[in-house]
Structure formats: C-alpha cells, structure tokens
Amino acid sequence: MQVSVKAGRMVMGRLKKGDDLLGALQQICSQQDIKLAEIRGLGAVKHARIGYYDQDGREYTFVDLAQHMELLALIGNVSIKDGKPFVHAHVTFANSQGESFGGHLAEGTEVFACEFIITEYLSNTALERAPDDETGLFLWK
Ligand code: ZN
C-alpha cells in the first residue's frame, strides 16, 4: 500500500532530560497535530527499553538496557492508529565500549539529551494502521 504525499512542516527541537523518548515524541506529534511524518533523532539516554518482534510467537519481547548510552540513530514515522497520531521508531544505541544495541523503541527509554527533527507530510489519503493477519502486526492498511 502507498499514498502520495507533499511536504509539510518541519519541526526541529530537543527533548528534556528525563523525558520518556517515545512518549515525548508522541506528545509533540499530538500537540502539533502531525498525522503523517518522518522522524529522526540523536543524543544520549540514561536507560533504554527496546522491543524485538518474535515472528513465530507473534508478540514483542522487551529488553531493558540499564546503562548510559549514546543514541546513535532514531528513525521513525508517524501515521494514524486508533484515530490518533502514532509514532513508530527504531533506535540504535552505543555503550562506553562502542558496543551497539538496537530495536523497536518502547516506552521506558529515558532521555539524557535528544535532538530531533520531524518532517511532516501531507496527503489526501490517511495512512492508517490496522491489524494484519499475516504478521500479527498493526500495519498500514
Ligand atoms: Zn518496530
């Protein structure tokens, strides 16, 4: 499935120390009424919680990384789920040894510092998530 889009607003900023990374991005999109967008970010976190989708078990398992890390890259998108803007993001972190970890960004990741950019897109057709029987995920319908 695909939709045609046009460029919308660009919102750049930084999150506050102590913010929940996913929750804060979600809140910005809701407040700014951003329904379709691409999100990028970088910074550092005090603690991370990431998910991995078990394709056979059809459920997410989550892991807590209880250490200070660089947020090397956050890449994500915004679309509509249950009638509201929904942020889906993946993240890569590095610890003090330069070892990397990554996964599906979950609530419970605490920001130390984060600079983000949200690139909004406008479309006549809403990009909405719905349950997908083949994968068990909420995918664009
Ligand atoms: Zn994901």
d(CA 69, CA 46): 7
Domains and CATH numbers, the chain: 6-140 (3.30.1330.80)
The rounded Å distance from CA 89 to ligand 1 centre is 6
The whole model's pTM is what?
0.95
- List residues bridging with 20 in a β-sheet: 110
Percent share of the chain, pLDDT over 90: 96
Percent share of the chain, pLDDT over 70: 100
Listed residue (58, 47, 56, 54) closest to 105, CA to CA: 47
pLDDT one-digit tens code per residue, 3-16: 999 999 999 999 99
The rounded Å distance from CA 50 to ligand 1 centre is 9
Q: How many residues does the chain have?
A: 141
Single-letter code of the amino acid located at 97: Q
The rounded Å distance from CA 52 to ligand 1 centre is 8
Q: What is the mean pLDDT of the chain?
A: 97
The rounded Å distance from CA 78 to ligand 1 centre is 12
Place of tokens 């083949």: 134
pLDDT one-digit tens code per residue, 56-73: 999 999 999 999 999 999
